[in-house]
Structure 1
Amino acid sequence: MDKSLSECFAVLSGPGLRVLVQDLPFHVGSGDSALSGIHLSIADERVAAHHLSLVMVAETRQFAVVVLAPDGAIIDGIHHPGTSPRIPIVHGSTIEICGTRLVFGLPSTRRKQRVDCIASG
């Protein structure tokens, strides 16, 4: 396994894109990463400066999306406005932001940890 992949929490991938999620919360938006703390910047005027964040819910050890932009995002085919509570996501979940489609993935070691956590919980 790629060493950098084994050290990440998750991966976001899309057409010509593969971003390792190595910090949480992980921020997605149109802002300049160096100035605004954005980890993944999408160059589209419809994307808010801070559009959404990926977080881990401590109680369940599950990843979730926090939608920050008023126009929302589409998670697994369902539109969620900016007023939505945290939206749980799993390996293979899709996140669409103003036409940019990302797929959320977990490295195989993280998928196994999640299964072990569920089995022992």
Structure 2
Amino acid sequence: MKKNELIEFLQRQNEFLQGRLDEALASVNSLTLANEKLVATVDELRKQIASLEDVIKGKGEELNKEKAARQAVQRLQGSPSERQAKPVSTPATTGTRQQKPEKKRTNNGAKRKTHPEC
């Protein structure tokens, strides 16, 4: 090979390798962009996971408070000092009083005698 041919050959080889280098750089740049997007997505997902964990912890505390409140109400309902009497409904009368039936009263099994003639 002559000197000029050798120079021409090396220039073509240099251009070919420069093209390959440009393709590799473009590929690296696109992969870098994809990597940055994935890193941003991972960071966002980590934040979501952290917030969900906080919600779960808060929900557990909420459930414990509700359970404690339910138990307290059950204890209050079970204690005889806290029981409430059922409200007595009063019948509505229209001007005249209705006579109530006479109740049977007992005193150790003995009935009280009534005297209707009095």
TM-score range, shorter chain: under 0.3
Q: Larger radius of gyration, structure 1 or 2?
A: 2
Give the structure-1-normalised TM-score.
Answer: 0.14
Give the structure-2-normalised TM-score.
Answer: 0.14
Structure with bigger helix share is: 2
Structure with bigger strand share is: 1
Structure with more contact order per residue of length (Cα contacts < 8 Å, sep ≥ 6): 1
